[in-house]
Structure 1
Amino acid sequence: MATTDKMDYEIPSYMVRPPTYGKWESVRLGIWNPTTKQFLGRTAKSWGGIILFYLIFYAALAALFAICIQGLYLSLNENSPTWQKDQSLIGDNPGMGFRPIAKDVETAGSLVWYVASDENSVKEWTDSLNAYLEPYTQKGGQNQKVCDYDNAAGDKVCVVEIDKWDPCTASHNYGFNNSKPCFFIKLNKIFGWQPEIYNDPSELPEDMPDDLKQHISSLNGTARNNIWVSCHGENPADKENIGPLDYFPKSRGFASYYYPFTNKKGYLSPLVAVQLTNPKLNVLINIECRAWAKNIRYSKMKSEREGSVHLEVLID
């Protein structure tokens, strides 16, 4: 019978069962394996390669980001927007706003509701107005001057003269405690926008309120150079409940010398204070205020309101 010699050969490593280690030994070898010279599963050469890769990758990413930011800065002007008026997202038709507004705007919306005999209820609204009007009450602001229709701002900005709001001032609690509340109307700022004024009584629009037409006709010369403001009850019942209104300043509008807005330091938007002098109590009153200029478009649609603002007043 033939005999077969045993052949000696080396068993491949992948066929050899790995040694069994305890938990602590496995953790220790996972951190540093003295046999393979591996730290956390990688050799020094492997770690060097991956670190070098990520250094180059993130350096290139940072350089690309820096180039993009620098390109953006080069395209911007600190003093004026790149896209203006009808070329911009906000367009060339200024919106309107009012103050005070409720702390919880999402819940209260445009409702001004308070109890005239409750000091805390009154204080909530007067504090809101005080905070909003604080920049206007700081006398002697930088780069400001007192203007009039024959004395424009020039290189400075025109001061908003708060004494012309009286009695809609903090010293009178803005009329809230006397059930004669004041609210303030403003036009939103649009860079470079210049109003086209209704200053000729013979060219006033037909839908302009008669009392405003009479007011404009009573003025002379440059005193007519205003963006006019009118407020009224929106519905027939509101017209009965709103009572007489007073406007401050007595010019009843935003003076043209505050425009255009060009982002000069110290600029503050002009405000018109409107006071309800005898509103009906315990009734919700819907109010609409509208700005009048030839280049202010008007739309009453609630979803796309233009050239006007809506608010509600409820005095208990």
Structure 2
Amino acid sequence: MADKTKVVEQYYSPPPDLGKWESFRIFLWNSETGQFLGRTGSSWAKILLFYLIFYAILVGFFAAMLATFYQTLDAKKPKWQMEASLIGSNPGLGFRPMPDSANVESTLIYYRANDKGSVLKWASVIDEFLDQYRKKGSGSGEAPGAENRVLCSATSSALGEKQVCDVPVDEFHPCTSANQYNYEEAGPCVFLKLNKIFNWTPQPYNNTEDLPQIMPEDLKQHIKLVSGKPEANTVWVSCEGENPADVENIGPVQYIPRRGFPAFYYPFTNKEGYLSPLVAVLFEKPRTGVLINIECKAWAKNIFYDRYERRGSVHFELMVDRS
């Protein structure tokens, strides 16, 4: 009769010593256990099913959140406008041409008037900027909404539902592409534009009763001449040297085709084909070989000026060399 209290001795046998490549082969496919990459077929099916359901739920959740979010937006107008928006209700000024992206922090327009390559460099930058203004019609390669643009004036009737005012830049003589924007004559043109703010309407200085004291005297005289006329409804523009030395070096300045942005271009309501109005500032005879700091300001009752925060103004430097 066997002794039930006797313990059956069991011995551990170490796994066979396999080589590196043999171990890798068994990891890829173990014919004894039917495992592929360390898992059986049923194990792979379970984990793949789990991740399929998991990611399907994630995609569905984010799709539902995006659909809900887009229901709160309007493709034609921002939800937050004017003072409620991040950009506020005080438009700033922009200028063209600007230095290339390699000098993104620079605001210097420097060129040699006797060097055709230097002149062509800046002229091509302006050409590229104005290309959208020159496109007409709705044919292949043309700007979307270009057919909506119509010529406007201070006495024009109200625009249609889709119509916007055109900006005929090829009439800005001598600030035209054919004239290379007068750069070769050492009297360069710089284009100014007012930054777009949705539904912003200017409150022009259209009489001489409430002009600010800091407004340049020549602009005050200009407003006095047009006071009471339809063309007085304009966001005025002035460009001056920032410092006394700059004032002496800047020379005569012309504003083409007019000294500001007519009020009939506003408000901006994101109509297709809309273009910001432009003013070409012609610096007729700036002193050559000298760096000139220039500040241009936009003037309206609801544009507030702050030099240090660049509110209602723009700064750039101009240096024309003849050597």
Give the TM bin, normalised by the shorter chain. over 0.9
* CA 1:107–1:143: 2 relative to 1, 3 Å: closer
The structural deviation recorded for 1:5 is 11
Query: Structure 1, residues 169-225: CA drift from partner, whole Å, max 9, x if none?
Result: 111111100001000011110111111111122221111111111111111421100
Matched residue, 2:69: 72
Counterpart AA for 1:154: G
| 1:47 has 2:44 as partner | yes
* Structure-to-structure mapping, 1:149-298, within 5 angstroms: 149-151=154-156, 152-155=158-161, 156-219=163-226, 220-250=228-258, 252-298=259-305
* Structure-to-structure mapping, 1:136-151, within 5 angstroms: 136-140=133-137, 141-151=146-156
How far apart are the structure 2 equivalents of 1:123 and 1:108? 22
Query: Structure 1, residues 31-88: CA drift from partner, whole Å, max 9, x if none?
Result: 1112222111111221122111101110111101111111121111110011111111
- Greater mean deviation of Cα atoms: 125-134 or 162-171: 162-171
Q: TM-score, normalised by structure 1?
A: 0.93
* CA 1:163–1:37: 2 relative to 1, 3 Å: closer
Secondary structure at the aligned position of 1:171 is classed as: coil
How far apart are the structure 2 equivalents of 1:32 and 1:176? 75
The aligned length equals 308
CA contact (8 A) 2:304 2:312 kept: yes
Counterpart AA for 1:27: F
Q: Which has the higher helix share?
A: 1
Q: TM-score, normalised by structure 2?
A: 0.91
How far apart are the structure 1 equivalents of 2:48 and 2:101? 52
How far apart are the structure 1 equivalents of 2:54 and 2:159? 54
How far apart are the structure 2 equivalents of 1:11 and 1:66? 60
Identity level (%) = 50
* CA 1:236–1:63: 2 relative to 1, 3 Å: same
Matched residue, 1:129: 126
How far apart are the structure 1 equivalents of 2:277 and 2:22? 77
How far apart are the structure 1 equivalents of 2:288 and 2:30? 86
In structure 1, the gaps of 5 or more residues are none
Query: Structure 1, residues 130-173: CA drift from partner, whole Å, max 9, x if none?
Result: 00001112234221111112224332100012244211111111
Secondary structure at the aligned position of 1:215 is classed as: helix
How far apart are the structure 1 equivalents of 2:217 and 2:307? 19
* CA 1:39–1:9: 2 relative to 1, 3 Å: farther
How far apart are the structure 2 equivalents of 1:212 and 1:256? 17
Instruction: Kindly report the root-mean-square deviation, in angstroms, between the aligned alpha carbons of the 2 structures.
Output: 1.8
Secondary structure at the aligned position of 2:302 is classed as: coil
Secondary structure at the aligned position of 1:114 is classed as: strand
CA contact (8 A) 1:142 1:265 kept: no
* CA 1:160–1:9: 2 relative to 1, 3 Å: same
How far apart are the structure 1 equivalents of 2:101 and 2:46? 57
Counterpart AA for 1:111: L
In structure 2, the gaps of 5 or more residues are 138-145
